[in-house]
């Protein structure tokens, strides 16, 4: 029996998958045969093989590549039997433009996908006319959009799944799809009746704004998941300039950046585009981005974002300065911010494309050892997973180019580590906890009608019970007073759970003393 069922037309979500039984972390939720498989490798095409330049008129190599994939999707569809074709056309999600009539950005994203699909569809119909006989242009265009919105990567193919293609997106998902095996694995305990969710994006590290923009452009919806709506944007957390001293060069010490010492973080609060920042330790609020302007750049975070993304796309151009740029962003933003990590990944990719002599290779190996120590100490969940994948790819490329014994040993070690990690990977990047400084400071409301000298009990969050006596008269309803709770007042065995509850409470918007 399947552990999931399809529920049709849930409000705002359309068709969804729902668990039919409870599942534990690490359990396979779903594994199924694809309905349709389209290889990404054009040499696998059994029909006439076009040159890339025949399909695409674009000068941009990325666009040309995407259009080649589009071609392969449609070609696989044209080759499929009639039953499969009907199933694809009738049962997969495919919106029409009128759905987006009220949202200009979604409408624009829709027409970009649509027009690319139209272009490739009409090419396929001309180019492989024989195979496309009996299929209308409209049908091919629809299939192109269906592929855009429903396909999963499986090995070097793009595939459509009857069940897995109906999984709802969440930036804090309860399952993960594994593109190497095609199985969907539980990341959190799942109860019967729970909605099955997974992350449509390759990464979990982007900040809210980018995740939403990407999903709008590629999947045609605005994400309203818990993580997008809660307003605390953890991938943009930076060391607090009020709590942590910066050097004369305006940068944090490397020990701060790498969290070798306790670090307090500032995160953005409030829903979506509001711009309130607050430190979870000193409670200082910042009305705008707390990163001090550098060299007269008005919004340095945004500026670095653009540089980091540009670097990922144009590695050759940047590769000489990549190492320096990484350390710079790390010392400016700290290791939790997504930009240094973006740069770090670009850095590894740069290394992959280089022909290295033995001395340089030694340096890379040392660097990887250091990186490993850092990864081990400061990351978990998806962040760790992504970095390790990349390092393994890097080492594989390296040892395929040259015989390299130490590289091979390192490769085995990293692979072993990933294997262990995957088997009990429980927490996601989101769950990384920040540092809590005692005494805890809390603003509590005074209960109504309380008389002087009277004792009352307050439970601001789970695990903490405070008994207090009113010593001053209250002025009005809704008055609050401040309590400071020293660490010594709390049972030592409860400290960890209280710290966790305190942070959760604070993230939900608990009242905090300034």
Q: Which residues bind Zn ion (CB under 5 A)?
A: 171, 223, 225, 228, 240, 242-243, 264, 279, 281-282
CB closer to Zn ion out of 228 and 430: 228
Cα gap 434→395, rounded to integer Å: 32
Closest approach of Cβ 266 to Zn ion, in Å? Answer: 7
Q: In terms of CB distance, is 16 or 225 closer to Zn ion?
A: 225
User: Given the complex with Zn ion, which of 73 and 268 has the nearer CB atom?
Assistant: 268
- CB atoms closer than 10 angstroms to residue 492: 8
Beta carbons within 8 Å of 201's beta carbon, 6+ residues apart: 171, 211, 214, 215
Considering the complex, state which of residue 281 and residue 379 has its C-beta at the smaller distance from Zn ion: 281
| Shortest Å, Cβ 267 to Zn ion | 11
* Cβ atoms < 10 Å from Cβ of 480: 13
**Buried/exposed 167-182: b ≥16 CB within 10 Å, e otherwise:** bbbbbbbbbbbeeeeb
Determine the distance from the C-alpha atom of residue 175 to the mean position of all C-alpha atoms in its chain, rounded to a whole number.
13
CB of 198 to Zn ion, least distance (A): 12
How far apart are alpha carbons 443 and 514 in whole angstroms?
9
Closest separation between CB of residue 468 and Zn ion, Å?
Answer: 27
Shortest Cβ 152–Zn ion spacing (Å)? 19
DSSP secondary structure letters along 104-132: HHHHHHHHHHHHHHHHHHHHHHHHTTTTT
Give me the least distance between CB of 224 and Zn ion, in Å please: 7
Q: How far apart are CA 372 and CA 344, in angstroms?
A: 13
Nearest distance in Å: CB 13, Zn ion: 13
Closest CB 247 distance from Zn ion, rounded Å? 17
Which residue lies nearer to Zn ion by CB, 193 or 262? 262
**475 contact partners, CB below 8 Å, separation of at least 6:** none
- Sheet of 285-286: strand order equals 238-239, 265-269, 276-279, 285-286
Q: Tell me 437's DSSP state.
A: P
Of 125 and 219, nearer to Zn ion (C-beta) is 219
CB of 203 to Zn ion, least distance (A): 13
> Which H or E element spans position 500?
helix 495-507
106 vs 132, beta carbon nearer Zn ion: 106
Shorter beta-carbon distance to Zn ion: residue 71 or 265: 265
Nearest to 406 by CA among 353, 361, 372, 371: 361
CA distance 391 to 415: 10
Q: Look up residue 349 and give its two tokens.
A: 């990719």
Smaller CB distance to Zn ion: residue 240 or 442? 240
Residue 177 to residue 30: CA distance in whole angstroms: 9
Of 168 and 281, the one with the shorter C-beta distance to Zn ion is: 281
CA distance 331 to 92: 47
Least spacing, CB of residue 465 vs Zn ion, in Å: 28
Q: Smallest gap, in angstroms, from Cβ of residue 254 to Zn ion? A: 20
Burial class of residue 231 (count of CB atoms within 10 Å of its CB; 0-12, 13-18, 19+)? middle
Helix or strand (DSSP H, E) at 19: strand 14-19
Nearer of residues 225 and 330 to Zn ion, judged by Cβ: 225
DSSP bridge partners of 39? 157
> Between helices 358-378 and 381-401, what is the axis angle to 10°?
170
């Amino acid at each position: 029996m399947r552990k999931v069922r399809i529920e049709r037309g849930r409000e705002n979500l359309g068709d969804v998958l729902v668990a039919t039984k409870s599942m534990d972390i690490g359990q396979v939720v779903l594994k199924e045969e694809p309905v349709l498989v389209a290889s990404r490798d054009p040499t696998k095409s059994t029909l006439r093989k076009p040159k890339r330049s025949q399909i695409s008129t674009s000068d941009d190599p990325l666009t040309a590549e995407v259009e080649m994939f589009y071609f392969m999707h449609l070609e696989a569809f044209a080759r499929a039997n009639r039953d499969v074709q009907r199933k694809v056309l009738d049962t997969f999600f495919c919106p029409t433009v009128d759905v987006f009539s009220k949202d200009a950005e979604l409408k624009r994203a829709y027409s970009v996908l649509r027009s690319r699909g139209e272009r490739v569809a009409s090419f396929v119909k001309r180019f492989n006319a024989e195979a496309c006989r009996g299929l209308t242009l409209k049908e091919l265009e629809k299939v192109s959009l269906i592929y855009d919105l429903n396909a999963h990567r499986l090995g070097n193919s793009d595939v459509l799944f009857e069940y897995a293609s109906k999984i709802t997106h969440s930036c804090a998902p309860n399952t993960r799809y594994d593109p190497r095996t095609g199985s969907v694995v539980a990341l959190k305990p799942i109860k019967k009746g729970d909605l099955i969710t997974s992350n449509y994006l390759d990464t979990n590290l982007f900040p809210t704004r980018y995740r939403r923009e990407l999903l709008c452009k590629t999947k045609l919806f605005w994400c309203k998941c818990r993580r997008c709506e809660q307003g605390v944007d953890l991938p943009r957390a930076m060391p607090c300039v009020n709590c942590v001293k910066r050097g004369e060069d305006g940068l944090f010490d490397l020990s701060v950046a790498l969290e070798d010492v306790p670090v307090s973080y500032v995160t953005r609060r409030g829903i979506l585009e509001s711009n309130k920042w607050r430190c979870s330790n000193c409670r200082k609020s910042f009305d705008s981005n707390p990163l001090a302007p550098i060299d007269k750049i008005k919004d340095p975070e945004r500026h670095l974002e653009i540089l980091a993304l540009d670097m990922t796309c144009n590695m050759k151009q940047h590769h000489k300065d990549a190492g320096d740029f990484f350390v710079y962003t790390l010392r400016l933003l700290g290791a939790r911010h997504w930009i240094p990590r973006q740069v770090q990944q670009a850095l590894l990719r740069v290394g992959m494309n280089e022909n290295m002599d033995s001395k340089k290779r030694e340096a890379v190996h040392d660097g990887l050892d250091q990186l490993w120590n850092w990864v081990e100490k400061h990351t978990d969940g998806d962040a760790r997973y992504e970095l390790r994948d990349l390092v393994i790819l890097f080492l594989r490329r390296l040892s395929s180019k040259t015989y390299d014994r130490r590289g091979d040993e390192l490769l085995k070690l990293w692979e072993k580590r990933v294997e262990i990690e995957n088997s009990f990977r429980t927490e996601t990047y989101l769950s990384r906890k920040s540092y809590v400084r005692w005494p805890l400071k809390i603003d509590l409301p005074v209960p109504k009608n309380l008389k002087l000298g009277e004792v009352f009990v307050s439970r601001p969050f789970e695990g903490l019970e405070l008994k207090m006596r009113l010593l001053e008269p209250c002025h009005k309803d809704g008055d609050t007073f401040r309590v400071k709770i020293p660490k010594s007042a709390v049972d030592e065995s409860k400290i960890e759970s209280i710290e966790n509850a305190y942070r959760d409470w604070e993230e939900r918007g608990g009242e905090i003393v300034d």
